[in-house]
Structure 1
Amino acid sequence: MAGALGYHSTDPDRGARLCFHLKPGSYDTAGLIEVLEQMKVFYHGERVVLVWDGLSAHWSRAMRAWAAEQDWITL
């Protein structure tokens, strides 16, 4: 499972929104990028700060290249 818990920085009274994705097996970089693209839609393109752990797919060259092209997400 991949998931994100988001809070509105401009309106904290709106509360948290949980976005998650279920998939059999494990995630690779391509799979995580697909999840992040869905997250962008879920959060309506709002700015997102994402805290990753040390999973290699989180820090791969392809992930860093993809993230560098995004203006809505900070890893």
Structure 2
Amino acid sequence: MTTIMPQSELVRRAAAYVATELAEKGRAGLSALLDDAAMRFNLSPLDQLALERLFATRAGGSAPSQPSHDD
């Protein structure tokens, strides 16, 4: 039987996965690791962006820029 999991739990698990992998392997492949986590945990594009921002902020860098809607 398949268990339905709230999306927020998937994001938490993905963040834990990325944090564990970073601790073991370092930041060299962060982009590929975030892509892998998004696929493993079936994250939406918005959830993937939130995960990217979380780890960009933790690294002391700037978060990925959002396209502006100054029409």
Same fold by TM (over 0.5)? Answer: no
Larger Rg: 2
Question: TM-score w.r.t. structure 2 length?
Answer: 0.42
Greater strand percent: which structure? 1
Greater helix percent: which structure? 2
Question: TM-score w.r.t. structure 1 length?
Answer: 0.41
